[in-house]
Amino acid sequence: MGHNRGVDISAKTDYAVRALLTIAAEQERGPVSVESLVTHQGLPRKFLESILGDLRRGGLVVSQRGPTGGYTLARPATEIAVGEVFRVVDGPLAEVRGLRPHETEYAGAASHLPTLWVAVRASLRSVLDGTSIADLLTGRLPEHVTSLAAEPDAWQSR
């Protein structure tokens, strides 16, 4: 019997969200340095620098050079959805064998499977696109997210 991975939230995505949260929390004092991000979140420097490049190219952060340089959010934290961070650093939220869920097609007994794959993607979108960096920073998550997390078996692995 094989081991099921489930939805994979990569280290790259985890680090990107953590970096954006730290930038959002600290940027009132000015741009946030890579060193500050490394220190505050315990992130590996080289990997973080690569991720920050992705976030910059994806329009989520702006970099400033110089001795007081660093990173600031490109938009207010309320306007950056966690789903956008996923897409910028890791691509689409859901894929089936390299295809987008709506691109799958099956015959016979499996003909209705694309509907399920699209629903899985819609569920991910609901949580990730409905939650902003500001929501995470303040802990005031959308009601549908807190309801899901409050379900009795939500924190249990299976």
So what's the pLDDT on residue 100? 82
State how far the Cα of 16 lies from the Cα of 82, in Å rounded to an integer: 10
What single-letter DSSP state applies at residue 66?
S
Are the C-beta atoms of residues 104 and 96 closer than 8 Å to each other? yes
So what's the pLDDT on residue 1? 42
C-alpha R_g of the chain: 18
Q: What is the pLDDT along the chain (158 residues), one digit of tens a residue?
A: 444 456 788 999 999 999 999 999 998 999 999 999 999 999 999 999 999 999 999 999 999 998 888 999 999 999 999 999 999 999 988 888 887 878 888 889 989 998 998 998 899 999 999 999 999 999 999 999 999 999 989 888 88
Give the E-state strand segments of 10-124 in sequence order.
Answer: 61-64, 70-73
Are the C-beta atoms of residues 63 and 25 closer than 8 Å to each other? no
Among residues 92, 93, 18, the alpha carbon closest in space to that of 51 is found at 18
So what's the pLDDT on residue 5? 57
